[in-house]
A and B are shown apart, each in its own frame.
Chain A
Amino acid sequence: MANVALRNLGKTFDKTTVLHDISLEVADGEFVVLVGPSGCGKSTTLRIIAGLEEATTGEVEIAGRVVNNLEPKERNIAMVFQNYAIYPHMSVRKNIGFGLRTSALSKPDRIKRLEEVAALLDMTDLLDRKPAQLSGGQRQRVAIGRAMVRDPAVFLFDEPLSNLDAQLRTQMRLEIKKLHQRVGNTIIFVTHDQVEAMTMADRIVILKDGVIQQVGTPSEVYHKPANTFVAGFIGAPSMNMMAATATSQGIRLFNGPTVALVQSDLTVGQPVTLGVRPDDLMVGTGQVLAEGQVVVQEPLGAETLIYVSVDGTEVIAKASGRTPPAVGETVRLGAATENLHLFDAATGAALR
């Protein structure tokens, strides 16, 4: 097991810079998820750690050793790819054992290790099958097995669940998390799915345009987003953002009420953005923020999401699952003051 440190990492392809000064410390045994939209640089970061891409600037350190000039095989890492990358012409046994081809273990030890991993992944009965005879989830387990068999210092996962259907994804998410709890290796996991990030990570790293936006625990990034991008990216549905202005009495929403939210570092007249998560925005309770007509209902069973048109923009709120307001009905939406987020309108940075 090992720590991973990225120091001022930069990457340029031709004339396009895709990573800007990335610095990150991943502790030994930590499960870190890199998350962000397509093209944010998360996979490039992972590939630089793996040694499949060269960093243009900066250093990569694994287990206290700078590895920039080392080949992937010398870094003591294992990687699980998005499309599994299990060899179709080899049996499960050969696929899992492939990682041991260059190992110094004796043949009996290799067989023992292979069987241990197969047992851990509940694949003992499938060892003689070919990948074509396996389901998506089983293939993914083979890919994980191949990575595990070498007992690497660091596991790198590059969107490994994105090819699975929703149900299998949830199942595999749980399996990977359990596996991490059992083996305790350092894991760096790349995904574009914020639900995966929230449910699996010890810490989440949110990237946008090659720049780290925030690093924190799932709770931190959800409850204390560093900026409007993080606020909008983490959480589904996205946080509602409302244009507002700071006044001496509080925050006055555009064409709306003034919210009694006093912020000492604001100047009167300063444009701000008020954010509130749909989960925190209820019908007829708390500090009134908006009033409008329900345009769409999304029943989720226990609760119903309602889309309310407020001055031409749509605001999402949560309503009762049993007696939600009808489409066309005018509703007042409110939230508790402690659940309101305030951002600088110009920079998007969090103000509280």
Chain B
Amino acid sequence: MAIVEAIRPTTDALMKTSAPKKPANLGQILRWLLLFAGGIAMIMPIAYMISTSLKWPHEVYNVNLIPREPTLENYTYVLEDGRFYMWFWNSIIIATITTVSNIFFDSLVGYTLCKFRFPGRYIIFIAILSTLMIPTEMLVIPWYLMSQQFGWLDTHWGIMFPGLMTAFGTFLMKQFFETVPDDFIEAARIDGLNELQIWWTVAMPLVKPALAALAIFVFLGNWTAFIWPLIVTNSTEMYTLPVGLSTFGDEADVAWELIMTGAAISTIPTLVVFLIFQRYIIQGVVMAGLKG
């Protein structure tokens, strides 16, 4: 996202210099070529996803981007398959609850670690941060054993619980709360608000960009999560969209055209979320960069 900000001046400059003023120098041309190559690299998988979703099964392994006989048959098939809506709904529930939970808990913990002075504060922060260094693959086994013991296997709760609060979110929010001047907090304290009211009424509105950024990160992360939902779910009814889509096809063959169709449809909610919050996320990422 920072790239968006980074390229904005360049594109502006491009538009301004379209009038015959001064020929672009070699450095500028190289920069544009590099950005063009980066853009292509990012767009190609999405273009292939859409292209494959419009192909017949026999054409899937042809690398041509434009389908020879484009069809919407795959979309009809996927949308008529009741399982798709079930998985879609599961993903919506899990991503939404996890996002709300992260916004609440990460900001509360981040605020506490940032604005209160108490013994062990630094150690707690380091302990939370250090969990970022542990790869998810290592955590999957204890999560599974825990889910098994508590009876959370194959439940929404089982899929959600590891992500209800994240070290990254706590770190992000703590960094953002650093930008809220203590005077605001103290002024509210003098005005008679209790600490929870101060957090909610004064501090939270001031970190809206960070909350939006966190919301998008968490939503996208949970929307696209694959490994853990695959491990913790057994029944088709509990699958999330990525897990469910991977089951398209049969033992002999994978139905890539259907998977790509489902993937293309599943990007719609994330696009909507991103378009709504994008001005906040860009601001949020840039601010995090400046302050971090």
For residue A99, which residues in chain B have a CB less than 8 angstroms away from its CB? 191-192
Does B8 touch A at the CB level, under 8 Å? no
| Most A C-beta atoms less than 10 A away, residue of B181, B186, B202 | B186
CB distance from A104 to the nearest CB of B (A): 11
**CB within 8 A of B193: which of A77, A79, A101, A150?**
A101
For residue A50, which residues in chain B have a CB less than 8 angstroms away from its CB? 186, 190
Structural contact, A102 and B193, CB atoms closer than 8 A: yes
Does A216 touch B at the CB level, under 8 Å? no
CA distance A80 to B181 in the complex (A): 14
Name the interface residues of B12-31: CB closer than 8 Å to any CB of A.
none
Closest chain A residue, CB of each to CB of B191: A99
CA distance A151 to B90 in the complex (A): 55
CA distance A82 to B192 in the complex (A): 20
Does B183 touch A at the CB level, under 8 Å? yes
Structural contact, A72 and B190, CB atoms closer than 8 A: yes
Structural contact, A81 and B191, CB atoms closer than 8 A: no
CA distance A83 to B206 in the complex (A): 16
Interface of B is mostly: helix
CB distance from B119 to the nearest CB of A (A): 13
For residue B190, which residues in chain A have a CB less than 8 angstroms away from its CB? 50-52, 72-73, 77-79
Which residues of A pack against B, CB within 8 Å? 50-52, 71-73, 77-79, 81-83, 85, 87-89, 98-99, 101-102, 146, 150
Taking A88-B206, A89-B206 as contacts, is the C-beta distance between A83 and B183 under 8 angstroms? yes
CA distance A161 to B208 in the complex (A): 29
CA distance A150 to B192 in the complex (A): 11
CA distance A99 to B193 in the complex (A): 9
Structural contact, A81 and B192, CB atoms closer than 8 A: no
For residue A85, which residues in chain B have a CB less than 8 angstroms away from its CB? 181, 183-184, 186-187
CB distance from B201 to the nearest CB of A (A): 8
CB distance from B117 to the nearest CB of A (A): 11
Structural contact, A73 and B187, CB atoms closer than 8 A: no
CB distance from B185 to the nearest CB of A (A): 9
Count residues on chain B whose CB falls below 8 Å from chain A CBs.
15
Does B189 touch A at the CB level, under 8 Å? yes
Ordered by A's residue number, 20 sampled pairs between the chains whose C-beta atoms are within 8 Å are A52-B186, A52-B189, A52-B190, A71-B189, A72-B186, A73-B190, A73-B191, A73-B192, A81-B186, A82-B183, A85-B184, A85-B187, A87-B202, A89-B206, A89-B208, A99-B191, A99-B192, A102-B192, A102-B193, A146-B191
Closest chain B residue, CB of each to CB of A73: B192
For residue B208, which residues in chain A have a CB less than 8 angstroms away from its CB? 89
For residue A78, which residues in chain B have a CB less than 8 angstroms away from its CB? 190
Which residues of B pack against A, CB within 8 Å? 181, 183-184, 186-193, 202, 205-206, 208
CA distance A98 to B184 in the complex (A): 12
CA distance A71 to B195 in the complex (A): 12
For residue A98, which residues in chain B have a CB less than 8 angstroms away from its CB? 188, 191
CB distance from A315 to the nearest CB of B (A): 43
Taking A52-B186, A89-B205 as contacts, is the C-beta distance between A83 and B181 under 8 angstroms? yes
| Most A C-beta atoms less than 10 A away, residue of B191, B193, B202 | B191
For residue B189, which residues in chain A have a CB less than 8 angstroms away from its CB? 52, 71-73
For residue A150, which residues in chain B have a CB less than 8 angstroms away from its CB? 191
CB distance from A33 to the nearest CB of B (A): 20
For residue B181, which residues in chain A have a CB less than 8 angstroms away from its CB? 83, 85
Structural contact, B186 and A102, CB atoms closer than 8 A: no
CB distance from B187 to the nearest CB of A (A): 4
For residue B184, which residues in chain A have a CB less than 8 angstroms away from its CB? 85, 87
**CB within 8 A of B187: which of A51, A79, A89?**
A79
CB distance from B157 to the nearest CB of A (A): 35
For residue B188, which residues in chain A have a CB less than 8 angstroms away from its CB? 98
Structural contact, B183 and A81, CB atoms closer than 8 A: yes
Closest chain B residue, CB of each to CB of A143: B187
**CB within 8 A of A81: which of B187, B193, B205, B206?**
B187
Closest chain B residue, CB of each to CB of A149: B191
CA distance A224 to B184 in the complex (A): 40
